[in-house]
Amino acid sequence: MHSSDRDRLVLAAVVFAVLFSQLLLYPGVATLVETLGADASTSAFAATPLDASMWFLVAEFAAYVAFVGVWGMASDVTGRRTPFIVAGSLAGAVGYAALAAVPAIGSIPFEGVLLLRLFQGAMTIGAFSLTMTMLMDLDGGHGRNMGAAGIAIGLGAAIGAPVGGQLTEVDPIAPLVVAAGLLVVVGAVVSLIEDRTPSQKRTARALLEGVRRRPTLSIPYAFGFVDRMTAGFFALVGTLYFQDVFGVDAGTTGLLLACFFAPFALLQYPMGALSDRIGRTIPIVVGSICYGVGILALSAAPTVATAAVGMVGIGVLGALVSPTTMALVTDLADEGERGLAMAGFNLAGSLGFLGGYLIGGTVASNYGYGLSFLVVGGLEIAIAVVTVPIFLKLSLEPGTRFGRDHETTE
């Protein structure tokens, strides 16, 4: 096996482990925050189980937003990825372990729990974003490399959700303990991977200026924002929707989420490779429109079985869009700016997750689940329709690779 192929597999496994550990918490989040001390009488952030769950998830992604750019810039400035990934994963493990210890301590207010969650998120995003950047550094085709990242993300979510549901049935703290252990393993594994970061070093100011001169990066960033918004929406609102409307438990909720994430994961690599052959436009634009329509249709599902079928359908469509969007980031970014460019994409994605939690949670809480599905699905359709003229102008044909000259002529 070629060293790039071997490293692609190992790095994809690392991405899988980070996402798996994250998704372990989602199916039983309402039970988890109650165990960690969420109480309406002592915290304004825990007025209802939905509010407490929302703020617990929001805290992690607020940290993602605040720190993902710091990790990416530090990596590009120093010309190293591996030490930062090791440090982020081990510190993230400490964050998960500290949260797991909260019930034993018993005197930490829910605001303190949210601060621990912020720390854990700030560390974990470094391991996640820079591992994806290491995949960008590999040879073999941007679609293939980002397809490997995508299949890892999807599998981590697909398997993490049902396993997390089952672990919650055993003990609400169990997902935190398993997540901490996995991140320790991540730190050990990444230390063995060759660091292929481009050798040239640049100042932080030069990096920011270089990315600023590439306005077309806003295209994959915008799609990354909306796509991750739908994921955040399903992680919070979708979870509670299935439990409230269909009366299912955490374990069954995890299986329903897996109906989305399984095809989403398994089709990432072939869809990414497909975009290397046919270009980025059709998978992103057409896939996004169909994806949004699928979300709208899901809200009308009358039974658990039809909801499961709907989740499978939108999982397939999501697999068409996700790796192609990430590959477009690699197409557009200069090799010396990949850490910051991928950080920007993950920043947009983290803001999308926050939007999914806050917008979806707020709309569902105040106006009902039906309108929340309409808002999120409608945004997915809208972003695709609005960007059609931009895609046509750029003519993103197979093999397109934009360099500095292209960007400066925009």
Q: Enumerate the domain spans of the chain.
A: 3-408
Would you say the C-alpha torsion 369, 371, 374, 378 has a positive or negative sign?
Answer: negative
Give the pLDDT score at 87.
95
CB 13 within 8 A of CB 189: yes
Cα–Cα distances (Å) from 285 to 185, 318, 320, 382, in that order, read 38, 12, 10, 10
Model pTM score: 0.73
- Compute the distance between CA of residue 355 and CA of residue 380 in angstroms, rounded to an integer: 13
Identify the architecture of domain 3-408 in CATH. Up-down Bundle (1.20)
Q: In 3-state terms, what secondary structure has residue 358? A: helix
Q: Which residues contact 41 (CB under 8 A, 6 or more apart)?
A: none
What pLDDT shows up at residue 382?
92
Tokens standing for residue 295: 């979300």
In this prediction, residue 204 carries a pLDDT of 56
Alpha-helical (H) ranges within 24-109 are 29-35, 49-78, 82-105
pLDDT score for 395: 55
Print pLDDT tens along the chain (410 aa). Answer: 456 778 888 899 999 999 899 989 988 888 999 899 888 778 888 888 878 888 898 899 789 888 988 998 888 888 888 999 999 999 999 999 999 999 988 778 989 999 999 999 999 999 998 998 888 888 766 777 888 888 888 788 778 878 998 999 899 999 999 999 999 999 999 988 888 776 666 555 555 565 566 677 888 888 888 888 887 788 778 888 888 888 888 778 878 887 887 787 788 888 888 888 888 888 888 899 999 999 999 988 999 999 999 999 998 998 888 888 888 887 877 777 777 788 888 888 878 877 887 888 889 888 888 899 999 999 999 988 988 888 777 655 544 444 333 443 33
Q: At residue 197, what are phi and psi to the nearest 5 degrees?
A: -55, 135
pLDDT of residue 410: 39
CB 190 within 8 A of CB 113: no
φ and ψ at residue 31, rounded to 5 degrees: -70, -40
Distance CA 197, CA 186 (A): 19
